[in-house]
Chain A
Amino acid sequence: MSAVLPPHGVHGGHDGHAHDHHDDHHDHHAPSGWRRWVFATNHKDIGTLYLLFSFAMLMVGGVLALCIRAELFQPGLQFFNPELFNQFTTMHGLIMVFGAIMPAFVGFANWMIPLQIGASDMAFARMNNFSFWLLIPAALMLVGSFFMPGGAPAAGWTLYAPLTLQMGPSMDAGIFAMHIMGASSIMGSINIIVTILNMRAPGMTLMKMPMFAWTWLITAYLLIAVMPVLAGAITMTLTDRHFGTAFFNPAGGGDPVMYQHIFWFFGHPEVYIMILPAFGIISQIVPAFARKRLFGYASMVYATASIAILSFIVWAHHMFATGMPVTGQLFFMYATMLIAVPTGVKIFNWLATMWRGSMTFETPMLFAVGFIFVFTMGGFTGLILAMAPIDIQLQDTYYVVAHFHYVLVAGSLYALFAGVYYWGPKWTGVMYSETRGKIHFWGSLIAFNVTFFPMHFLGLAGMPRRYADYPMQFADFNAIASVGAFWFGLMQVYFFLFIVVPMMRGKGPKAPQKPWEAAEGLEWEIPSPAPFHTFEEPPKLNAAATKIVG
């Protein structure tokens, strides 16, 4: 419980582990009570804050999703008017992307990167605090926009012009919130890059770094490259709205499609920002439970980098229906299909890691295998959508909704769950209940597929997304999807109440230093729960940089 809840004001020094004297030494300048969190500069505390924040946002976004599914349970408008419905779809997207998934990965980065590379903390501890606390006003402003005149933004999470020009004042609040979140992400990324490049323990060369640190290093560069692009796009929207410019406003000679180009130049790398750290987590977990080293470490690194580079030249596959010249469609189609190659390499590497291993299936491994299985389905639908002629049929239909939930829920979110089960014992010092973990896994996996698999059919049959009501023929699959969605939502409440809360309260068997037989890495070289301060002296590492020697 050391870094999660402060039961006695100080960071769990009463556990009696080897580092007690170490902690006590620092008590005089470790703040307690609310100060510990508001003035937090410790990477573990900030990591915890990020994770709790993102879970809260997951719940808010989840409630919005359930409002959507309730309305779509059967044809006709039963609960919400179409305007409010559009606000729900918009805010669900924005909150999940910017409030839940991205901060959750930053939380993992904060907790794990210093531990994995043998650094004492993040490079810029105070900036780290600032990056987190910026998220709170941003989130309040975003969620609060529901109560502004005219309601929350309702232009879709992509905020396409010129629909954004028709929105009420909440649009400005939303834009401001995204500016702040962008600033937070950029600061977080700078911190991660500087930490990884400068603070690795002696002997931890780049090519010996754990995959999670690698994927985050690449992700952080992506973030720095594209968050300013988003800021530019929404700033132009803002000046179009208020200061008489006409970047995207056709009434003044602006080009609405230019907005889409700029947005997706951010937006496509953004989806890799949300999946690359997930690849990192899976690449840590699969070897640990297969009791076998990660297959093709170097090719894993190169594949991640290739995906990141390719992500910059595929953006217009989101825009095939805008009407591009033949050469444009062909270029973006080819480039997009190319991404299947490095992604395939990753899947094959994980399989080869499992092959002839000695596997056990504790919850982290279940989520990792579930990730590989379901994410690959999302990958295949991605390949199908990459084909411009098919995309013309499926663009802006439920097929796309199914596709990106397969990669973002079954992809990013499952990897996050896998990571919580895998590293949770290190964070809290207690083991979760394996039975409950399995209930959470199987419940979520089945509910997820019940929710999103029928959406492929709806999309193929031509049901457009962001529709508050739909023709009768789509009724049954929508009803099934809604039932699945509520089930999935309940599984996450179960996860919080029966897994997260007990762990945070320290209820459960005490976690050993290394709960997983074959897990490798420096995080398993320190006690559980991880002491408040770790690696204050750079550790001496073995040749593989996985163990502390001497």
Chain B
Amino acid sequence: MTMMNARVQSASRGWAQRAAAAAMATLATGSAFAVNDLKGGPGVNQLNLHEPVTRIAADQMWLHNFMLIVCLVIFVAVFGVMFYSIFKHRKSKGAVSANFHESVAVEIAWTVVPLLIVIGMALPATKVVVAMKDTTNADVTIKATGYQWKWGYDYLKGEGEGIGFLATLDTDQRESSNSGHPEKVDNYLLKVDNPLVVPVDKKVRIITTANDVIHAWMVPAFGVKQDAIPGFVRDTWFKAEKIGDYYGQCAELCGKEHAYMPIHVKVVSADDYTKWVDGKKKEMAAKADDPNKVWEQAALIARGEKVYAANCAVCHKADGSGAGPIKPLDKSPVVLAENHMEQMQVLLNGRMDKGMPAWKQLSDTEIAAVITYTKNSWSNKTGQTVQPAEVLAARK
């Protein structure tokens, strides 16, 4: 309740600010306060589909415009008749009702004509469906895994094979959302730490799956939306024809942070892509943690703090106090326990019944670090250290 009160207050502040900003925007058009179109993402008060950068998206745009025109013509014709009738055939204008109430010819006509129109609509759509579903002969294959609440990308085939990383919403933006009066930036809720990088003019096949619940991977500019279903793989594809940044969001309700797992795809030239792949591979080699390395406690805690902030703090809060159904970690018996097994199991397998997702996608070192961090933070002063090797053993 106190939180709601606080929100109400901040809301009234927000409205005042908003009104002021609107007033200023009207005074000086193009003022610095105004939000601008996000290239590759939504435009301000955008009225139609995104500007297409793939053939499929262009076809979808064409189909949509075509449908819109056909529907508008029918709409105007049908309601032209209706409103003519409404104005002419009124009792107040002395209209006397006619007596007809059926006509087989007319009724057949207005069954057959719409049928023909519908067939006319279905034909071009069929071609696009067939093209859309053709995921063969991809140059690069990437697996996109939906997690609560982030995307994981694994380059499975083609240039860049072996690269893998997670993409999470910028934590400042997430905080900014909670504040009730977020900073007016063009990429609000669309900025991720590690964008997906793909080469231009190459057929990219996206294989989707999920770790916990169903998510959906969507990039409007590519005309792509594919559910990511746990336990199953599905695929879709795109071939971006323009270099640039493109944005999308998760499109299937996946729990409380549904609105906070955006998709950012960077389309780069073939050369830049090769450079990025080299850089990324070196970076990964350097970062790869040996699960058998024995760590100092302080180093593990420092590492764990970062892991905690990036993954856990959203729900369990930075001070480990939890919220509502989300368990506090501060003073938690599971965290304080001498035996590390239960906490490791919770992290590795989740507690689906309590809304805790599994975190097995984190490395052994990261899990060991974050457990060590929770065991030695806030009022938890166990002095215990969990080494990566223990986590590695617990995975089996």
**A interface residues with partner B (beta carbon < 8 Å):** 74-83, 86, 149-151, 154-156, 160, 162-163, 165-166, 168, 250-251, 253-257, 290-299, 321-323, 325-326, 329-330, 333-334, 337-338, 340-341, 344-345, 347-349, 351-361, 369, 372-373, 376-377, 380, 383-384, 387-390, 392-393, 395-397, 457, 460-464, 466-477, 518
Query: CA–CA, A97 to B327, complex, Å?
Result: 34
- With an 8 Å Cβ cutoff, the count of chain B residues facing the other chain is 120
Return B2 CB to nearest CB of chain A, in Å: 13
Q: 10 more A-B contacts (CB under 8 A) besides A323-B226, A323-B236?
A: A76-B179, A329-B133, A333-B125, A348-B78, A387-B121, A389-B125, A457-B46, A462-B50, A462-B248, A472-B186
Return B98 CB to nearest CB of chain A, in Å: 4
CB neighbours (8 Å) of B57 from chain A are 393
Residues of B109-141 contacting chain A, CB below 8 A: 110-111, 114-115, 118, 121-122, 125-126, 128-130, 132-133
Return A320 CB to nearest CB of chain B, in Å: 9
CB neighbours (8 Å) of B269 from chain A are none
CB neighbours (8 Å) of A473 from chain B are 35, 37-38, 41-46, 186
CB neighbours (8 Å) of B48 from chain A are 460-461
Out of B47, B97, B126, B178, name the residue touching A358 (CB < 8 Å).
B97
Report whether A355 and B7 are in contact in the complex, using a CB–CB cutoff of 8 Å.
no
Show 26 residue pairs from A and B whose CB-CB distance is below 8 angstroms, ordered by the A residue.
A80-B7, A255-B232, A295-B102, A296-B103, A299-B111, A337-B122, A341-B118, A348-B78, A356-B89, A356-B100, A358-B95, A372-B82, A373-B82, A376-B78, A380-B71, A383-B121, A387-B122, A388-B132, A389-B60, A390-B64, A392-B132, A393-B225, A461-B48, A462-B49, A471-B42, A472-B185
CB neighbours (8 Å) of A250 from chain B are 229-232
Report whether A461 and B42 are in contact in the complex, using a CB–CB cutoff of 8 Å.
yes
Report whether A467 and B122 are in contact in the complex, using a CB–CB cutoff of 8 Å.
no
Report whether A389 and B8 are in contact in the complex, using a CB–CB cutoff of 8 Å.
no
Out of A77, A299, A373, name the residue touching B178 (CB < 8 Å).
A77
CB neighbours (8 Å) of A337 from chain B are 118, 121-122
CB neighbours (8 Å) of B67 from chain A are 383-384, 387, 390
- CB-based closest 7 A-B pairs: A250-B231, A323-B234, A78-B11, A461-B46, A389-B128, A462-B220, A356-B98
Q: Does B223 contact A (CB under 8 A)?
A: yes
Majority DSSP secondary structure for residues of B touching A: mixed
Out of B15, B74, B110, B132, name the residue touching A389 (CB < 8 Å).
B132
Q: Does B85 contact A (CB under 8 A)?
A: yes
Return B374 CB to nearest CB of chain A, in Å: 22
Out of A369, A463, A474, name the residue touching B86 (CB < 8 Å).
A369
Query: CA–CA, A340 to B122, complex, Å?
Result: 12
The chain A residue with its CB closest to the CB of B219 is A462
The chain B residue with its CB closest to the CB of A345 is B111
Report whether B232 and A472 are in contact in the complex, using a CB–CB cutoff of 8 Å.
no
Query: CA–CA, A1 to B186, complex, Å?
Result: 59
Query: CA–CA, A464 to B78, complex, Å?
Result: 32
CB neighbours (8 Å) of A156 from chain B are 253
CB neighbours (8 Å) of B225 from chain A are 321, 392-393, 395-396
Q: Does B355 contact A (CB under 8 A)?
A: yes
The chain A residue with its CB closest to the CB of B358 is A251
Report whether A357 and B98 are in contact in the complex, using a CB–CB cutoff of 8 Å.
yes
Report whether B110 and A345 are in contact in the complex, using a CB–CB cutoff of 8 Å.
yes
Query: CA–CA, A349 to B95, complex, Å?
Result: 20
Report whether B63 and A389 are in contact in the complex, using a CB–CB cutoff of 8 Å.
yes
Q: Per-residue CB proximity of B283-304 to A under 8 Å, as 1/0? A: 0000000000000000000000
Report whether B11 and A79 are in contact in the complex, using a CB–CB cutoff of 8 Å.
yes
Return A88 CB to nearest CB of chain B, in Å: 12
CB neighbours (8 Å) of B3 from chain A are 81
Out of A251, A329, A457, name the residue touching B129 (CB < 8 Å).
A329
Report whether B89 and A162 are in contact in the complex, using a CB–CB cutoff of 8 Å.
no
CB neighbours (8 Å) of A469 from chain B are 177, 182, 189, 259-260
Q: Does B366 contact A (CB under 8 A)?
A: no
CB neighbours (8 Å) of A359 from chain B are 85-86, 89-91, 95
Report whether A74 and B89 are in contact in the complex, using a CB–CB cutoff of 8 Å.
no
Report whether A360 and B92 are in contact in the complex, using a CB–CB cutoff of 8 Å.
yes
Out of B35, B45, B254, name the residue touching A457 (CB < 8 Å).
B45
CB neighbours (8 Å) of B102 from chain A are 295-299
The chain B residue with its CB closest to the CB of A319 is B227
CB neighbours (8 Å) of A463 from chain B are 42
CB neighbours (8 Å) of A160 from chain B are 213-214, 252-253
Query: CA–CA, A90 to B231, complex, Å?
Result: 25
Out of B110, B186, B230, name the residue touching A344 (CB < 8 Å).
B110
CB neighbours (8 Å) of A354 from chain B are 82, 85-86, 89
Report whether A388 and B129 are in contact in the complex, using a CB–CB cutoff of 8 Å.
yes
Query: CA–CA, A395 to B132, complex, Å?
Result: 15
Contacts known (A78-B14, A354-B85); A326 close to B133, Cβ less than 8 A: yes
The chain A residue with its CB closest to the CB of B87 is A359
Q: Does B367 contact A (CB under 8 A)?
A: no
Query: CA–CA, A253 to B214, complex, Å?
Result: 15
CB neighbours (8 Å) of A380 from chain B are 71, 74-75
Q: Does B176 contact A (CB under 8 A)?
A: yes
Query: CA–CA, A323 to B129, complex, Å?
Result: 12
Report whether A460 and B78 are in contact in the complex, using a CB–CB cutoff of 8 Å.
no
CB neighbours (8 Å) of A81 from chain B are 3, 256, 323
Q: Does B352 contact A (CB under 8 A)?
A: yes
Q: Does B258 contact A (CB under 8 A)?
A: yes
**B interface residues with partner A (beta carbon < 8 Å):** 3-4, 7-8, 10-11, 14-15, 18, 35, 37-38, 41-50, 56-57, 59-60, 63-64, 67-68, 71, 74-75, 78-79, 81-82, 85-86, 89-92, 95-103, 106-107, 110-111, 114-115, 118, 121-122, 125-126, 128-130, 132-133, 176-182, 184-190, 208, 212-214, 216, 218, 220, 223-227, 229-232, 234-236, 248-260, 323-325, 352-353, 355
Query: CA–CA, A76 to B187, complex, Å?
Result: 14
Contacts known (A291-B91, A471-B189); A168 close to B235, Cβ less than 8 A: no
CB neighbours (8 Å) of B8 from chain A are 78-79
Return A396 CB to nearest CB of chain B, in Å: 4
Return B132 CB to nearest CB of chain A, in Å: 6
Contacts known (A358-B97, A396-B216); A389 close to B253, Cβ less than 8 A: no
Return A441 CB to nearest CB of chain B, in Å: 14
CB neighbours (8 Å) of B235 from chain A are 323
The chain A residue with its CB closest to the CB of B115 is A341
Out of B10, B107, B118, name the residue touching A78 (CB < 8 Å).
B10
Return B90 CB to nearest CB of chain A, in Å: 5
CB neighbours (8 Å) of A76 from chain B are 14, 176-182
Return B246 CB to nearest CB of chain A, in Å: 11
Out of B101, B253, B355, name the residue touching A295 (CB < 8 Å).
B101
Report whether A358 and B96 are in contact in the complex, using a CB–CB cutoff of 8 Å.
yes
Contacts known (A78-B7, A163-B214, A387-B121); A257 close to B229, Cβ less than 8 A: yes
Contacts known (A78-B10, A355-B81); A360 close to B63, Cβ less than 8 A: no
CB neighbours (8 Å) of A347 from chain B are 78
Report whether B38 and A471 are in contact in the complex, using a CB–CB cutoff of 8 Å.
yes
CB neighbours (8 Å) of A396 from chain B are 216, 218, 225, 251-252
Q: Which of B44, B214, B218 has the most CB of A within 10 A?
A: B214
Return A363 CB to nearest CB of chain B, in Å: 15
Out of A86, A256, A325, A464, name the residue touching B230 (CB < 8 Å).
A256
Report whether A155 and B49 are in contact in the complex, using a CB–CB cutoff of 8 Å.
no
The chain B residue with its CB closest to the CB of A349 is B107
Contacts known (A76-B180, A473-B35); A82 close to B259, Cβ less than 8 A: yes
Return A531 CB to nearest CB of chain B, in Å: 31
Report whether A356 and B97 are in contact in the complex, using a CB–CB cutoff of 8 Å.
yes
Query: CA–CA, A326 to B325, complex, Å?
Result: 43
Return A344 CB to nearest CB of chain B, in Å: 4
Out of B46, B59, B133, B230, name the residue touching A162 (CB < 8 Å).
B230
CB neighbours (8 Å) of B214 from chain A are 160, 162-163, 256
Return A304 CB to nearest CB of chain B, in Å: 14
Query: CA–CA, A467 to B212, complex, Å?
Result: 19
The chain A residue with its CB closest to the CB of B34 is A472
